[in-house]
Chains A and B, each alone.
Chain A
Amino acid sequence: GENVEQHPSTLSVQEGDSAVIKCTYSDSASNYFPWYKQELGKRPQLIIDIRSNVGEKKDQRIAVTLNKTAKHFSLHITETQPEDSAVYFCAAMEGGADGLTFGKGTHLIIQP
């Protein structure tokens, strides 16, 4: 089955700086890579996703890049703001599979 590794487990950045969270996956057949944000005490919510037929996707201050050859994908947040503080999870789904495999999460802390 799929295995997803996520780094770092904790990331602290100054407000206004950029943050990058990286994930690697094991199954080359995986074709769907979403990112979820979970604020303290709340449910995970989808913030951006990418499919394997594209290399990059942007939505305002967030972007995701995918390198299929290296089997890794990254979340980029620019101009970070206090409300970006949360736990972020990456996930991967292999083609034909019936569920997402999640990374263990990154606690992003935005320092004022």
Chain B
Amino acid sequence: EAQVTQNPRYLITVTGKKLTVTCSQNMNHEYMSWYRQDPGLGLRQIYYSMNVEVTDKGDVPEGYKVSRKEKRNFPLILESPSPNQTSLYFCASSLSMRADNSPLHFGNGTRLTVT
């Protein structure tokens, strides 16, 4: 089954403790992206990657890192989490953001709480 898989689904952590949220897609998609969803603010892009070894900042990149060493994986890293990073995170992928009939596929989300 074609899908975007995020892990974990739920995570509670403390301020300053490094964490990684994994994202993997099995559709051979070139484009991958991370969003955070907060009440009243919609979906805001954190980082994106057009292809392997190519990553760029989105609208809210502060406090986050990403890597794209393999085409299928795009982990989100919080080196020193803070309470304002408590949010619902979505990974998404697309064959290509510039091609017709290439919609964005979302993972099931990771709900992160930083205390």
Contact = CB atoms under 8 A, between A and B. Distances in A.
Interface stretch (A56-64, A65-73, A75-83, A101-109): A101-109
B107 A104 contact: no
Given A44-B106, A46-B104, A49-B103, A89 B42 contact: yes
A2 B109 CA distance: 25
Contact of A98 (B35, B56, B103): B56
A104 B103 contact: no
Given A43-B109, A99-B33, A99-B48, A104 B40 contact: yes
Nearest to B35: A102
Q: Is the interface of A mostly helix, strand, loop or mixed?
A: loop
Contacts of A49: 103
A28 interface: no
A105 B45 CA distance: 15
B58 to A, nearest CB: 6
B50 interface: yes
Interface string B41-54: 11111001010000
B42 A102 contact: yes
B90 interface: yes
A21 interface: no
Interface of A: 1, 6, 9, 34, 42-46, 49, 51, 89, 93, 97-105
